Structure formats: structure tokens, C-alpha cells
Structure 1
Amino acid sequence: MAGERDLQKLLSGMRPVLNPGRYVYCTLSGRVPAGLRPVVTVAEAEGPTVVVAQEEADSLGLPYEYVAAWITLEIHSALEAVGLTAAVAGCLAEVGISCNVVAGFHHDHLFVAAEHAEPALAALQKLAADQP
């Protein structure tokens, strides 16, 4: 199934959903440990970065600095869609919230500081509602 490319349709139909839990970014010096269940993995020259549930990182003694909330935009966006990331990041920047965006095949996922979860969700809902 092809994803949506039209920015207007993406913004008006993006239905942001706050996933339960708190998530942390961990950088690893080697391979991802067996049994670790990251929701995001990024291969970097310095070693893999993983985003995992805070409880899982704590139970494995993994160090982290950033504690985030995970928001999923519940619309199937095409990977080649233009402007969605900019519009969402801009909307959040206007209210002083930074975000880290990860594109999956079906959805875009935002990680915002945990203490900004509700204001971020409200800003994104308003962005969707304000579309003609």
C-alpha cells in the first residue's frame, strides 16, 4: 500500500498518538545486546544508538541522558512525502519543544522530552485541526 504524499492530507489526517511509557537514547560500544528490544536502532560510526523503554535500560544498567515520550503520527506517510517533518518540527518549535523524528515505513514517530509529552500532543492535534 502506497503512503500519502499530499502534505495537506498528511497534516489534516495525522492523528498523533502518545505511546505509553518513557523511552531513552542509549549509545552502545559494541553490538546490540541479545534480548534488548529497541524501538529504534541507528548504526553510527561510534557504535549503535538504540531507543529503548526506560525500564529496560535501567534493568540492564545502560546509561542515558535523555528521557523521551514517543508520539506516533497515525497516518501512512510516503517515505518520499515532502514537508511533513518540517511542518511538525516547526509546529513544536513554535511552542519551544524539540523533537527527534524517525520515519518508519508506515508512520512517522516523534520523540520529545518526557515532560513535554502533553503540550506536544496538544500542539500537534491543533496543527491537524487547523488544516482546511
Structure 2
Amino acid sequence: MSGERELKKLLSGMRPELNPGRYVFTTVAGGVPPGLTPVVTVTEPEGLTLVVRKEDADAANLPYGYEAGWITLRVHSALEAVGLTAAVSRELAGAGVSCNVVAGFHHDHLFVPHELAAGAVALLEGLAERSA
């Protein structure tokens, strides 16, 4: 099943959805600590980056600084689609909202400052409306 590639359709159909909770980025040496279920993992030479629920990081005594809201773009985007990340980033950057993007097989996921997450969803909904 392939995803959408046409930028106008991606933008107009993105349906941003704010997932409940607070998420943090942390790093560990070795593997994922027992009992922890990350929503994102990235292996880097410096260590394993984990994006986890804040309360899980607290329970595991993991250090973090950035607290994020997690927005899922519900459109099924093709991994080779061009322009979606740029358009979304441009919209959020114009409002002073930082954005960390992770692509899954089916959807794109945005991690934005938690206190700005609801406003970021509203900005993206506006972008979708203007793109329709």
C-alpha cells in the first residue's frame, strides 16, 4: 500500500492530531532500558536516542530537557513525497514553533514544544484549509 505523493493532497488531507501526554527526548548507552516503551528510537554513534512519555522517563530516572507534544499527521504520506516536511516546518517556523519531524511508514510525526502544541495543531489545520 503506497502513500500519497501529491503535495496539495498531502497538505489538504493531513488532519493533524495531538496525541495525549508529554514526550521527552533522552539518550542511553546500550539498549532500551527494561520496562520502557519508546515511541521513537534513533541509533547514533553517541548513543541511542529515545522519545518516551515524560512519566516513563521520570520513572526510569532518565535525564531530559525538552518536553514535547506529539502531533501525528493522519494522511498516509509516501516516504518519497516531496515538500510536506518543508511546508509544515515553514508554517510552524513562521509562528516561532520549533519542530522535530519523524517519518513513520504510514504517517509523519511532529514533536513541538508541549506548551505550543495545541496552537501548532491550529496552525496546521489552517494550512490544510488553505491548501484544499
Q: What's the TM-score, normalizing by structure 2?
A: 0.98
CA distance in 2, matches of 1:45, 1:53: 23
CA deviations over 1:22-75 (Å, ceiling 9, x no partner): 000001122211221000000000010000000000011011010000000001
Consecutive unaligned residues of structure 1, counting only runs of 5 or more, are: none
**CA RMSD after TM alignment:** 0.7
User: Taking every aligned residue pair, what percent have the same amino acid on both sides?
Assistant: 66
2:70 corresponding residue in structure 1: 70
CA distance in 1, matches of 2:60, 2:105: 29
Consecutive unaligned residues of structure 2, counting only runs of 5 or more, are: none
CA distance in 2, matches of 1:84, 1:131: 12
2:106 corresponding residue in structure 1: 106
2:84 corresponding residue in structure 1: 84
Confirm or deny that 1:32 pairs with 2:32: yes
Q: What's the TM-score, normalizing by structure 1?
A: 0.98
1:127 corresponding residue in structure 2: 127
Letter in 1 for 2:23: Y
CA distance in 1, matches of 2:31, 2:77: 31
Post-superposition, which runs of at least 4 consecutive aligned residues in structure 1 deviate over 6 A?
Answer: none
